[in-house]
């Protein structure tokens, strides 16, 4: 079932050539890449920890979380800081593309994609300027349990 979210905004970002988005009410800030302290024995997608203005924050490599190819760290790589259920986390993305106001209702992700390996991470799909952009499910992205 699609949810009507007229006049909501999304932050669109790139992972390689693919575009994804999060709702702006989930995004606290966009930070420059910085040194990330690794956490031993953590899942491979968990990059580590950063000190964000005195707050220790977990950082997730979104490419690895979505099982995409690793890429060389470019100049545009940033950390999107998200607030979710009283927890703060950082998501490493290749670059932030834009902030857009939704002018149409997002559509459900087709079942064939939702049932794929990454399907649980996808919330809905929106078309902007003839491009399909997947809005991510932050609950699933931040869940440490695989396959949930």
Start-to-end CA distance of the chain, whole Å, equals 20
Answer whether residue 19 is part of any domain.
yes
β-strands 95-101, 78-84 pairing: unpaired
CB 106 within 8 A of CB 3: yes
In a 10 Å sphere around its CB, with 0-12 CB exposed, 13-18 middle and 19+ buried, how is residue 7 labelled?
exposed
State residue 117's pLDDT score. Answer: 67
- What pTM was computed for the model? 0.86
Q: What CATH number does residue 130 fall under? A: 2.40.50.180
61 has which bridge partners?
Answer: 92
Answer whether residue 85 is part of any domain.
yes
Q: How many domains does the chain have?
A: 1
Give the side-chain half-sphere CA count within 13 A for 10. 25
Residues for the chain: how many in total?
A: 148
Q: What is the pLDDT of residues 64-78, one digit of tens each?
A: 999 888 766 677 899
CB 131 within 8 A of CB 19: yes
Q: What is the pLDDT of residues 83-112, one digit of tens each?
A: 988 889 999 999 999 999 988 788 888 787
Give the residue numbers spanning the domain of 102.
9-142
Answer whether residue 133 is part of any domain.
yes
**Per-residue confidence band for 51, with pLDDT thresholds at 50, 70 and 90:** very high
């Amino acid at each position: 079932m699609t949810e009507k979210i007229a006049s909501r905004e999304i932050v669109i970002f790139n992972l390689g050539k693919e575009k994804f988005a999060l709702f702006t009410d989930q995004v606290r800030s966009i930070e420059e890449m910085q040194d990330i302290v690794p956490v031993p024995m953590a899942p491979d997608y968990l990059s580590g920890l950063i000190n964000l203005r005195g707050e220790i924050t977990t950082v997730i490599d979104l490419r690895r979380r979505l099982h995409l190819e690793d890429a060389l760290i470019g100049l545009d790589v940033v950390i999107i800081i998200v607030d979710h259920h009283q927890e703060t986390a950082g998501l490493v993305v290749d670059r932030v593309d834009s902030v857009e106001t939704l002018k149409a209702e997002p559509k459900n992700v087709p079942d064939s994609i939702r049932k794929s390996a990454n399907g649980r991470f996808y919330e809905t799909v929106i078309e902007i300027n003839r491009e399909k952009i997947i809005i991510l499910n932050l609950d699933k992205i931040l869940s440490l349990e695989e396959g949930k």
